[in-house]
């Protein structure tokens, strides 16, 4: 069974640009969550999507947005990039939403903002 895949694995952008990251969950998984990982702040929850609807949202500005498609694949978008957005962005999938469903993480997309 293939794991969670994220594309691209590495990305370099400049301030003010926007970026779209993609996540393909494990087959059969319908929930996708996104996290930002930085050395200073650790792993922080961005948002969760289930059945194409945002179910949970973390404390991030509106520049961070996401969506989920009918095949459960998800994208997250960051507009007007800032230097502080440089981070590893992780996607995790689980069978369903809520409860204590195990989350399976992808390898992440390393975003560098210059």
Residues that bind another protein (CB under 8 A): 4, 33, 35, 42-45, 48, 55-56, 90, 92, 97-108
- The dihedrals phi and psi of 99, each to the nearest 5 degrees, come to 65, -150
Whose Cβ is closer to another protein: residue 62's or residue 99's?
A: 99
Minimum Å distance from CB 75 to another protein?
Answer: 17
- 79 vs 97, which CB is nearer to another protein? 97
* Shortest CB 107 distance to another protein, Å: 5
Whether 92 contacts 5, CB under 8 Å: no
Q: Which residue number, 45 or 79, has a Cβ lying nearer to another protein?
A: 45
- 26, 72 contact by CB (below 8 A): no
First to last CA, the chain: 37
Phi and psi (nearest 5°) for 44?
-120, 135
CB of 96 to another protein, least distance (A): 9
């Amino acid at each position: 069974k293939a794991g969670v895949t994220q594309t691209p694995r590495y990305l370099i952008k400049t301030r003010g640009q926007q970026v779209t990251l993609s996540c393909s969950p494990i087959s059969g998984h319908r929930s996708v969550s996104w996290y930002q990982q930085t050395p200073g702040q650790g792993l922080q929850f961005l948002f969760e999507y289930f059945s194409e609807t945002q179910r949970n949202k973390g404390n991030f500005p509106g520049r961070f947005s996401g969506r989920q498609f009918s095949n459960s694949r998800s994208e997250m978008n960051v507009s007007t990039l800032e230097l502080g957005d440089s981070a590893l962005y992780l996607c995790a999938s689980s069978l369903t939403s809520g409860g204590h469903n195990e989350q399976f993480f992808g390898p992440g997309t390393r975003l560098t903002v210059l």
